[in-house]
């Protein structure tokens, strides 16, 4: 049944068996998997609490958990901020998913989102106040989606036509986007301070009467669309086949180049939408080099942890933003100083442990039996 018996049965040359080897698990029960995951999340939280206690000379172990929840759910406003953060991270996570399902290593979501935000801001800078707000917002949407799509399509075309490395290409596109933003901001900020400040036009925050909620609505709709696209559409099937095996895809008559480019454009469009929400969906539209703030990379982890399932992604994203908001509040209330670092520690512990746990769910470690058993 296991690999071990297969190996022992063969008539192979004897050499020293390694101390341990890994065996793929195939038979683990679903409830066991989930038990392991839940225990892992609890362990990550426990470790974070211990880190917090150490940093505060032992005075704040329980306080950490209290502040964690307060920071995320402590007031109506905090819940709104939590879901606003959820919407953006979720949107980008959805965006990277089709490409990863196709095994296209797109790490350019950060740049695609940023360039889309820049496109929206460019529209505001040149049309703001000159056209009705509804028209302005529609033009922003179109510009953002176009910018995101172009930023996604460029590496895809190069990959499909000339086989360039998409990881390096998309990474470089991030830097290009950041520099373009810095260049534009410096050109627009006439006072020389290097910051653009809040723009007076282009915000559609409060569209449904509740601040910060319209993004959540849009992204929820997008989640359903992506779910249907991946699960029930021909496109979704094709990109999955390309991901499993390019040769199989070719054999059954799939135009691989077309699928790669099409899927990356779709990813880029969704990143573009995220960039549009980051600008227009905020009460304070602006752009700067750190607007996306690494969410383009966090989204990759979220997408993989969710095993590319949009439904699982809803909850993984929520868990991540909950940890971010909560740990930031904990660090602030305990005067830990570098709140960003503490946030990174808590979220980092979570990712580290959960990835390790996925490994042990999929593989079993077998140690060498003692000599002369």
Partner 1 sequence: MKLKKVLALVLIVALLAAVGVALVACDPEDEFKVGFIFLHDESSTYDKNFIDAAREATSALGLSDSQVLFRTNVPESEECYNAARDLVDEGCDIIFADSFGHEQYMLQAAREFPDVQFCHATGTRAHTEGVANYHNAFASIYEGRYLAGIAAGMKLVDMYGDENDALTDEEAKIGYVGAYTYAEVISGYTSFYLGVKSIVPNVTMEVTFTGSWYDETAEREGASLLISRGANLISQHADSMGAPSACEQEDIPNVSYNGSTEASCPDTFIVSSRINWVPYFNYMITQVQNGEAIAADWTGTLENGAVVLTDVGAAAAAGTQDAINAAREKLIAGTLEVFNTANFTVTKTDTLNVNATVDNGVLTAYMADVNYDEAFAADTQVVANGVFEESAYRSAPYFDVRIDGITLLNQKF
Positions in the binding site for partner 1 (CB under 8 A)? 30-31, 34, 38, 41, 65-66, 69-70, 72-75, 77-78, 81, 186, 189-195, 197-198, 282-284, 286, 288, 290-291, 293, 309, 311-312, 315, 318-319, 322, 331-333, 335, 337-340
Q: State in angstroms the smallest separation of the CB of 322 from partner 1.
A: 7
Distance (Å, whole) CA 183 – CA 206: 31
Looking at the Cβ atoms of 255 and 309, the one nearer to partner 1 is: 309
CA distance linking residue 30 with residue 36, whole number of Å: 10
* CB-CB contact of 275 with 114 (8 Å): yes
Which of 49, 202, 23, 50 has the alpha carbon at shortest distance from 129?
A: 202
Q: By C-beta, is 66 or 358 nearer to partner 1?
A: 66
Q: Please report the sign of the dihedral spanned by the C-alpha atoms of residue 12, residue 14, residue 18, residue 20.
A: positive
Nearest to 313 by CA among 300, 294, 328: 300
Cβ at position 208, least distance to partner 1 in Å: 19
**123 DSSP 8-state letter:** H
For residue 287, what is the DSSP state? -
> Cβ closer to partner 1: 267 or 327?
327
- Helices and strands, number each (H, E), in the chain: 14, 2
Task: Give the residue with the Cβ less far from partner 1, 58 or 283.
Answer: 283
CB of 74 to partner 1, least distance (A): 5
Q: Name the residue nearer to partner 1 (CB basis): 198 or 365.
A: 198
Least distance (Å) between residue 70 CB and partner 1: 6
Residue closer to partner 1 by CB (options 41, 146) is: 41
What's the closest the beta carbon of residue 135 comes to partner 1, in angstroms?
21
* Residue number with CB closer to partner 1 (78 or 235): 78
Cα 246 from chain centroid?
26
| Phi, psi for residue 364 in degrees, rounded to 5 | -115, 140
For helices 214-232 and 234-244, the axis angle rounded to 10 degrees is 70
131/150 with CB nearer partner 1: 131
CA 84 to chain centre: 15
Which tokens in the block code for residue 9? 């049965």
Comparing CA positions, the residue from 317, 279, 313 lying closest to residue 295 is: 317
By beta-carbon proximity to partner 1, the closer residue of 103 and 307 is: 307
Distance, CA of 237 to CA of 222 (rounded, Å): 19
Least distance (Å) from partner 1 to the CB of residue 103? 22
| Residue carrying structure tokens 């080099």 | 289
C-alpha span between 251 and 262 (Å, rounded) = 19
Q: How far is the CB of 36 from partner 1 (least distance, A)?
A: 12
Residues near 66 by Cβ (< 8 Å), separated by ≥ 6? none
């Amino acid at each position: 049944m296991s690999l071990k018996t297969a190996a022992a049965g063969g008539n192979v040359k004897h050499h020293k068996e390694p101390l341990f080897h890994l065996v793929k698990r195939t038979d683990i029960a679903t409830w066991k998997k989930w038990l392991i995951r839940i225990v892992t999340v609890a362990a990550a939280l426990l470790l974070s609490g211990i880190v917090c206690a150490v940093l505060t000379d032992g005075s704040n172990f329980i306080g950490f958990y209290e502040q964690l929840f307060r920071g995320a759910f402590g007031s109506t406003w905090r819940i709104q901020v939590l879901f606003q953060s959820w919407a953006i991270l979720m949107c980008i996570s959805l965006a990277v998913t089709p490409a990863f399902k196709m095994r296209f290593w797109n790490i350019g979501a950060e740049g695609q989102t940023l360039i889309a935000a820049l496109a929206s801001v460019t529209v505001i800078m040149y049309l703001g106040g000159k056209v009705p707000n509804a028209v302005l917002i529609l033009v922003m949407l179109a510009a953002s989606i176009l910018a995101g799509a172009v930023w996604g399509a460029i590496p895809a075309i190069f990959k499909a036509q000339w086989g360039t490395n998409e990881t390096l290409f998309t990474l470089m596109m991030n830097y290009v986007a950041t520099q373009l933003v810095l260049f534009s901001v410096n050109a627009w900020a006439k006072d020389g301070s290097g910051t653009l400040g809040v723009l007076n036009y282009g915000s559609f925050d409060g569209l449904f009467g509740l601040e910060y909620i319209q993004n959540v609505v849009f992204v929820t709709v997008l989640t359903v669309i992506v779910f249907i696209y991946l699960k029930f559409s021909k496109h979704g099937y094709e990109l999955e086949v390309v991901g499993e095996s390019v040769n199989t895809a070719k054999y059954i008559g799939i135009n691989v180049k077309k699928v790669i480019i099409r899927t990356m454009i779709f990813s880029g469009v969704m990143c573009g939408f995220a960039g549009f929400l980051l600008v227009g969906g905020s009460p304070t539209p602006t752009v700067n080099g750190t607007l996306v703030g690494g969410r383009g990379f966090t989204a990759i982890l979220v997408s993989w942890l969710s095993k590319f399932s949009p439904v699982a992604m809803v909850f993984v994203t929520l868990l991540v933003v909950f940890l971010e908001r909560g740990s930031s509040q904990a660090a602030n209330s305990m005067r830990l100083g570098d709140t960003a670092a503490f946030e990174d520690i808590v979220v980092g512990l979570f990712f580290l442990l959960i990835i390790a746990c996925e490994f042990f769910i999929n593989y079993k470690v077998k140690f060498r039996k003692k000599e002369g058993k």
